[in-house]
Amino acid sequence: MIKVGIVGGTGYTGVELLRILVNHPDVELKVITSRSEDGVAVADMFPNLRGHTDLRFSVPDVDTLGACDVVFFATPHGVAHAMAEEILNTGTRVIDLSADFRIKDVPTWEQWYGQPHGAPDILPQAVYGLPEVNREQIKDARLIAVPGCYPTSVQLGFLPLLENNLLPEQMLIADCKSGVSGAGRGAAVGSLLCEASESMMAYAVKGHRHLPEIRQGMELAAGKAVNLTFVPHLTPMIRGIHSTLYAQAPGLTQAQLQTLFEQRYANEPFVDVMPAGSHPATRSVKGSNVCRIAVHYHEHTGQIIVLSVIDNLVKGASGQAIQNMNIMFGLDENAGLKQVALLP
């Protein structure tokens, strides 16, 4: 059994890690930390966990965390910067769900996150935990930067096109719609039911922190600079991201693109390429680790439209983190991750 610790378990990615891990066949949950909730039973805060765990929140402590085989960080940015190195030094592996180690260029990180990078020394060893790209590196990684929710759905949708150099110089567009859980469990007016339900709005049109992360991944896949316009939208639902991706590539066919996508993801356990003509709905992945993709092509205009949906808390965060753990510890990649999406 793999001994697991979680730093920062009071947010939505924290409870989602717990939801999956309490039923993971190869995991023993050892510790979950929260400074503010020290001593509180996890199941008192999250009653869905009643009967599944007796853990209580405790103050983070390197000795206890260092006794685990792996520690997940489900914390605001900056926390993993401050604590990860000490934990790594005990030999424990770290899987960070925050943005702290996702961006390889320190000045870029500092510009978008508005604070000094707290751990540039260990940044080089961080592996970007997108298994569909970095599976081999993940196996031996000691520090994983779990991709963001938008970046996961956008990259998986664009990768087959970029890797095959199908997109000429152009502006690519990612119009993304996210459920409100992406904003976290913080008590913000904008996330109130009375503010966010029965409404649709774009936000951060001037620039969103996930943009440099997405572009970094896309440029690695393309082997060249990529132009991307990324517009996120707050959508009146709890979970789910729907990314609608636009690119121009004249002279292809629907069949070519369909084959390209199917082959690219043929061996991927968590990417499902739907038949031509499909429209994936976010509810088809609610609670599951699947990214479901459809590719459309308008042959008369050369317009490619990729539809890519995930559950932002699963494939977009906690599920993907556990997928990384499975790979790192040589487990079945889908251990603990077989749940079917909840529909309806």
> If we measure between CA atoms, which residue out of 94, 248, 280 comes closest to residue 161?
248
Looking at the Cβ atoms of 194 and 330, the one nearer to a copy of itself is: 194
Instruction: State in angstroms the smallest separation of the CB of 307 from a copy of itself.
Output: 5
Q: Can you name the residues that pair with 202 across neighbouring β-strands?
A: 233
Active site residues: 149
For residue 194, the surrounding DSSP H or E stretch is helix 193-196
Give the one residue of 108, 296, 329, 335 binding a copy of itself; rule: CB under 8 A.
296
Q: Which of 59, 82, 202, 255 binds a copy of itself (CB under 8 A)?
A: 202
Q: Which is nearer to a copy of itself, 121 or 301 (CB)?
A: 301
| Selected range binding a copy of itself among 11-19, 80-88, 100-108, 216-224, rule: CB under 8 A | 11-19
Stretch that binds a copy of itself, among 32-40, 133-141, 224-232, 315-323 (CB under 8 A): 224-232
Contact 323, 270 (CB under 8 A): yes
Per CB under 8 A, 137 contacts a copy of itself: no
- Measured N-to-C along each axis, helices 149-163 and 210-222 cross at an angle, to the nearest 10 degrees, of 20
Count of residues interacting with a copy of itself (CB under 8 A): 83
Is residue 237 a contact residue for a copy of itself (CB under 8 A)? yes
DSSP assignments along 305-319, one per residue: EEEEEE-TTIIIIIH
* Residue number, 142 or 296, with CB nearest to a copy of itself: 296
Kindly state whether residue 208 participates in binding a copy of itself, applying the rule CB under 8 A: no
Task: Assess contact for 154 and 161: CB atoms under 8 A.
Answer: no
What is the DSSP-derived secondary structure letter of residue 41?
B
Among 189, 225, 251, 266, binds a copy of itself (CB under 8 A): 189
The rounded distance, in Å, linking the Cα atoms of 160 and 162 is: 6
Closer residue to a copy of itself (CB): 140 or 267: 267
Answer whether 224's CB lies under 8 Å from 136's CB. Answer: no
- Length, in residues, of the chain: 344
CB of 70 closer than 8 Å to CB of 329:
yes
Residue 207 has a CB neighbour count (10 Å cut-off) of: 10
| Binders in 14-43 for a copy of itself, by CB under 8 A | 15, 18-19, 22-23
State yes or no: residue 240 binds a copy of itself (CB under 8 A): yes
Tell whether omega for the bond before 344 is within 30 degrees of 0, i.e. cis. Answer: yes
Nearest distance from C-beta of residue 340 to a copy of itself, angstroms: 4
Return the residues of window 101-130 that contact a copy of itself according to CB under 8 A.
none
Nearer to a copy of itself, 21 or 138 (CB): 21
